[in-house]
Amino acid sequence: MTHSVLFVCTGNICRSPTAEGLFAAYSQEAGCEQRWRCDSAGIYAQAGLAPQAQSIEVAATYGADISQLRSRAVCGEDFSNFDRIIALDCGHLDYLSAVAPASYLGQITLFESPLGNRIEVDDPYGLPNKAYERAAADIAAGVRCLLEQLQTESR
């Protein structure tokens, strides 16, 4: 079974491209990249922007190269193309839940921790590097938990 995951934040230049990159790197590390595809988008994204330099740097420390990713806005087709949409905070979750078509059969959720707690990732945009590092640590934990869930579902 192929899973499709979309990561969504505000501008698609910090959190969601980091999540996309870490998901791709970790699924490759687990040898299951062929079974899962991912993308990222932003609710208010301007198309074609590169990720923030701090996001590129911190993602690299987790083994992900996100330098070639480019921003895009969430669109209606995303609800047809992705069976799981991960919102990076509750505001994004509320928005996506409100605009999702009634026919959408996938999941719209936040990241979860191994204990089942919901993870909201604070927006590091415009903040010092420590904020990007904190966001990446939260994303890494969420991505690892998501991959475990997907592996369990695939059995």
User: Apex CA 130: angle with CA 110 and CA 67, to 5°?
Assistant: 70
Question: Cα(104)–Cα(125) distance, rounded to whole angstroms?
Answer: 31
Q: Which residues are tagged catalytic?
A: 9, 15, 123
Which residues, other chains included, contact 49 with Cβ-Cβ below 8 Å and sequence gap of 6+? 11, 12, 13, 70, 71
Within 10 angstroms of residue 60's Cβ, the number of other Cβ atoms is: 15
Question: Cα(30)–Cα(89) distance, rounded to whole angstroms?
Answer: 26
Lateral strand order in the sheet of 84-87: 36-42, 3-9, 84-87, 107-112, 118-119
